[in-house]
Amino acid sequence: MFKNIKSIKNFGIFKDANTNAGQPFYQFNLFYGFNYSGKTTLSRVFLAMQLGEIPEGFTGASFEVDCHEASSIKSNNLQKVENLRVFNSDYIAKNVNFDESSVSPVLIVGERNIELETELQGLEEVIPTKEVNRDQNTGFAASKEKEKNNRLTEVGRNVAVLSILGRSTFNASSVRTMLASAEASHDLTPEQMSAYIDTARASAVSSVPKVKLSTPEMKDILGEIESIMATSVTQTTIAELDADKSLRSWVEEGIERNAGHTTCQFCHNTISQARIDELNAYFSEAYKDLSQRIDVAIASVQSQAFTSSIPDTSQLYPDLQKGFDELRIQIQPIDDSVEELKTSLVKLLTDKKEHMSEVLPFNASDYPLPLVTDLMEQFNAPITAHNERAVNHSTEQRQAIEAIKRHYVYQETQNYDHPQAQLDIQAFKDAAVTAQNEINANQARIDAIKAELNNTKQGAHSLNDNLRQYFGKTDIKIKPVGATYKFMREDREAKHLSDGERTAIAFAYFITQLEDESLNGIKPIVYLDDPICSLDSNHIYNVLGIIKSKLGHEHVEQLFISTHNFEFFNLVKTWLSHFSRTKTGTAKRAQFFLVNRTGDQSKIDPLPKLLKDHRSEYAYLISKVKEAVERPENCDSIAVQSYVRKILEVYFSFRFNLTEFRGNGKDQIAPNLLKDIEGAEVKANTLYEYMNEKCHAKSMELGVQFPEAVQPQLTNAWEIITNALETNDKPHYDAYYA
């Protein structure tokens, strides 16, 4: 048996609750509390002990529960309490499917069959061994498959790090599809790999213009030079001019400038006709013509040049750039050779001017131009390859990437036996499947044996008996259908069950489950959280009757009941009062508690004397509101708002025979409670707003976080109520409110 709750920390609304008010738990324990006080949360502490684990949503929660004859139960080392059963909203959600109108069958222990039980025991004993075998083979298969996949992933990663894939991927699945086609021809040399990587990494490029090398066209010029060299002119001799080249040139120019003049344009001296005739004879027309031809030839030679158009080496694909710059070095010698030839020809023509009366030897073949055709072809070979590749870039790049992938896949086949690994994996999987099939066969036989040993019809019969006790009639019945129970109403599947019917079915199912074979011969510890939710008064009596007959002192090791329904609380309290008194030779067996919420946390207090000694909730609620007005720091401002509403609901019911404060747009507070009170309409609206708006969920956050914001409204509302009662109903005021 549980002795007390030593501590609850961070378990929902129980932030730090220690011991159940210093009072021990007895065989019967009754908890009373208003809505949102933490009753269901308290039931989940017991549910955690039933399941052996903290329920979902309570991360970080902890508790410790002392026991009468055993060591304490701690949340950090939970073990299932095998005979503990908890009925709460979690139980209903887990066990009863109201959408499908069904519950799982309850197995009631039938007559024993030694032979079947022996077979059952043998089947159940062998299943764990088979499960271990299945799990081991499943684990071996998973481990081997993981090893295999990791290797395939690594192959893909090795290719990916080369930065050749672009936006595409090469993963384990891709590698797997290539394993079967891997062959030795896919192995690449380092040089081949390097070339393929360069191609794969290369971006798409434009075509490159071909190299153009052009030497001067000298055929006509050489022919003219040959003609000039073979031409001579006859002229008179003037010693001074023959001896002085510069003077000769100066005089030749002066003759042209002074033509038609008898006076020198330079020195203004008279030039005799005889001198003019002498000079003209020296500089004859033939002389002038030849001299001019020489000057033109010199200019033509000097205008000639070697031209070249060569693209930058960087424009080519990286693997085509090798040797291109070495070819470029050969360009300068060609240019130098052309310039040397030009210099030789100019010098030859200049010398001719000094010997114009002579025929000079000349052979054009002695002045050959350098050949550039071979060099140009060497330049253009990689350019042609580049341009062809540029046109087919995507195809060549794709082929390069594929070759690199095949290389790495082939290398993997040499380092790891993938076919054998796959055979091993399949063998492990087959062994696991075989083990599971054997488990399934055993389990099917186990289920068949249990079906013989247990009678589901008896379970349905017991469930219907409990429903009849609950409802006092037979509107709803349970019928075995296949592997489940269905809710039936007049032989038709029951749909659209009321809240009360749902509660009844769930509780009847819970009571029936207590006869489950796992509890056969063992008294249970039972926790019931509000088993009368949404039920009317008649059914509340039926529920108590079931509890007294099924969960009486001879049927349970320990019973815990929590409720917010004051009528049900009083009925249970009256029943348990017999066990709460100590008589000579009789130990006390019942205890009463209040789940009391203050602000954002709750605790477990002794049941107040006002509630314990009287059957009226009305007086207790008045005391709680008066306490909240006088000592607000000790009270839950949100709960107190609900208390005020409930107080007026009770008063209006017995004093004015009214069930609501405002209906069909008509106010009932001002003409009744506040009759003849000054400002009745305004005060009625204040009360209505406080009870109907301030106590609903939309103001709860404000009330919890800032109770001081709600407290003045409470004080004002309570003053309106008490002043009205003192004025209009003085005897009642003196009895309850003074």
Alpha helix positions (H), 4-107: 39-51, 89-95
- The mean per-residue pLDDT over the stretch 488-495 comes to 76
Please indicate, yes or no, if residue 462 is contained in any of the structural domains.
no
Neighbours of 73 (CB within 10 A): 20
Does 249 share its domain with 120? no
Does the pLDDT value for residue 326 go beyond 80? yes
What is the pLDDT of the chain when averaged over all its residues?
Answer: 83
Query: Cα(127)–Cα(105) distance, rounded to whole angstroms?
Result: 24
Half-sphere exposure of 93 (CA within 13 A, CB side): 3
pLDDT attached to residue 36: 83
Tell me, yes or no, whether 503 and 588 share the same domain: yes
User: Does residue 59 or residue 516 have the better pLDDT?
Assistant: 59
Assess contact for 581 and 15: CB atoms under 8 A: no
Other CB atoms within 10 Å distance of the CB of residue 663: 10
| Number of domains comprising the chain | 4
Asked whether residue 415 falls in the same domain as residue 538, the answer is no
Do 26 and 71 belong to one domain?
Answer: yes
Cα dihedral 355, 360, 364, 366 sign: negative
Instruction: Provide, rounded to the nearest whole percent, the portion of the chain with pLDDT above 70.
Output: 86
Q: Is 512 inside a domain boundary?
A: yes
CA-to-CA distance for 471 and 469, rounded, in angstroms?
6
Q: Does 511 share its domain with 591?
A: yes
- Same structural domain for residues 590 and 649? no
Residue 340 sits in the same domain as residue 216: yes
pLDDT at 704 over 50: no
* pLDDT at position 152: 92
pLDDT of residue 121: 87
Quick check: helix, strand or coil at residue 250?
Answer: helix
Residues 6+ apart with CB under 8 A from 234: 284, 286, 357
Structure tokens, 30: 């009754």
For helices 707-728 and 680-692, give the axis angle rounded to 10 degrees. Answer: 130
Comparing CA positions, the residue from 525, 471, 507 lying closest to residue 46 is 525
Which has more confidence, 449 or 313?
A: 313
pLDDT computed for residue 357 by the predictor: 83
Domain end marker among 578, 613, 648: 613
pLDDT digits (tens, 9 = 90+) for 396-431: 888 889 999 999 999 999 999 999 999 999 999 999
Among 81-90, 397-406, 496-505, 566-575, where is mean pLDDT lowest?
A: 496-505
Predicted confidence (pLDDT) at residue 1 exceeds the cutoff of 60: yes
| pLDDT value for 111 | 39
Reported as a pLDDT band with limits 50, 70 and 90, residue 342 is very high
Q: What is the pLDDT of residues 156-210, one digit of tens each?
A: 999 888 888 877 889 989 999 999 999 999 999 999 999 889 888 877 778 899 9
pLDDT digits (tens, 9 = 90+) for 220-268: 999 999 999 999 886 555 666 666 667 767 877 777 777 777 788 778 7
Q: Is the pLDDT of residue 520 over 90?
A: no
Q: Which of 10-19, 244-253, 323-332 has the lowest mean pLDDT?
A: 244-253
Tokens representing 687?
């009360």
Instruction: Give pLDDT, residue 120.
Output: 85
- DSSP structural state of residue 263: B
- Domain shared by 542 and 671, yes or no: no
Range of the domain at 110: 104-210+372-455
The stretch 538-552 carries a mean pLDDT of 84
The full DSSP string for 534-566 is T--HHHHHHHHHHHHHHSSTTT-SEEEEEES-H
Same domain, 276 and 400: no
Looking at the structure, do residues 109 and 195 belong to the same domain, yes or no?
A: yes
Mean pLDDT of 39-49: 94
At residue 391, the pLDDT reads 83
